[in-house]
């Protein structure tokens, strides 16, 4: 891979997107590793993030809506995607293949294209104990999605109900490994291993 690999950070509406240290520090950590970072908040997640700060840090605008057919994509295509934080709602919708937001559309497309997707969940215990959540986690893992932390206990995966801090450090380790894979490792010679700006991003009327 001759160009700088691109990482999309999908931010849902949960406290870790708002906390400091948190998302801005994570973006800077990813950049220090060598990623070109783009932040894509969900519609509700946009209320949690500091859009001006993140745009300044990344050099890219924050997109949260589908573009119209024929419009140029303002973001480069992604080589990997991280969902941090991921909500109960987003995890279940993603497992069901629902793409009613730009963030979900990009994630669904990435899974289908075998682009690496990493998820760190933040939800409360009653939602983590809902039967749909465990099934969604299992289905997404079968599709190749990586969860941080990589645990079998759903309370550990859904960091908040276990009283655990949000796993920013674990996420940084995960994208460090992905960066190595994409630049010098087994994915460095994979052509077309990118997503973004495809058909799912051009037809909002279908959503």
Cβ–Cβ under 8 Å, residues 53 and 89: no
Cβ–Cβ under 8 Å, residues 48 and 13: yes
Q: What is the pTM of this model?
A: 0.89
pLDDT digit string, tens, across residues 173-192: 999 999 999 988 766 654 44
**DSSP H helical segments within the chain, as ranges?**
23-33, 51-58, 88-95, 102-113, 125-128, 131-142, 154-157, 168-183
- CATH of 8-206, picked from 3.40.50.300, 3.30.470.10, 3.20.20.70, 3.40.50.1950, is 3.40.50.1950
The domain spans of the chain are: 8-206
DSSP 54-114: HHHHHSSPPP-SPPPTTPPPSSPPBSEEEEEEE-HHHHHHHHTT---SHHHHHHHHHHHHT
Cβ–Cβ under 8 Å, residues 40 and 6: no
As a whole number of angstroms, the distance between CA 125 and CA 154 comes to: 9
Instruction: Chunk the chain into consecutive blocks of 10 residues (it has 207) and report each block's average pLDDT, rounded to whole numbers.
Output: 86 88 93 97 93 95 85 89 96 97 96 97 92 96 96 82 80 96 72 50 42
**Nearest CA to 16 among 199, 144, 169, 195?**
169
> What 3-state DSSP class applies to 162?
helix
> Which residues, 6 or more positions from 70, have their beta carbon under 8 angstroms from its beta carbon?
202
pLDDT digit string, tens, across residues 163-172: 678 999 999 9
As a whole number of angstroms, the distance between CA 107 and CA 8 comes to: 10
């Amino acid at each position: 891979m001759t160009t700088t690999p691109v990482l999309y950070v999908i931010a849902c509406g949960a406290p870790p997107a708002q906390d400091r240290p948190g998302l801005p520090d994570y973006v800077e950590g990813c950049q220090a590793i060598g990623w070109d970072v783009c932040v894509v908040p969900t519609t509700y997640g946009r209320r949690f993030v500091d859009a001006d700060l993140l745009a300044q840090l990344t050099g890219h605008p924050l997109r949260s809506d589908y573009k119209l057919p024929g419009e140029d994509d303002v973001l480069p295509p992604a080589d990997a995607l991280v969902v941090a934080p991921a909500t109960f709602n987003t995890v279940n919708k993603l497992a069901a293949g629902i793409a009613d937001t730009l963030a979900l559309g990009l994630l669904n497309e990435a899974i289908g294209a075998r682009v690496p997707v990493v998820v760190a969940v933040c939800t409360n215990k009653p939602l983590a104990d809902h039967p749909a959540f465990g099934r969604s986690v299992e289905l997404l893992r079968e599709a190749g999605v990586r969860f941080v932390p990589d645990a079998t206990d759903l309370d550990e995966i859904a960091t908040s109900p276990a009283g655990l801090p949000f796993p920013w450090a674990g996420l940084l380790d995960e994208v460090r490994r992905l960066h190595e894979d994409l630049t010098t490792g087994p994915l460095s010679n994979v052509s077309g291993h990118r997503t973004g700006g495809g058909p799912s991003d051009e037809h909002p009327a279908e959503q």
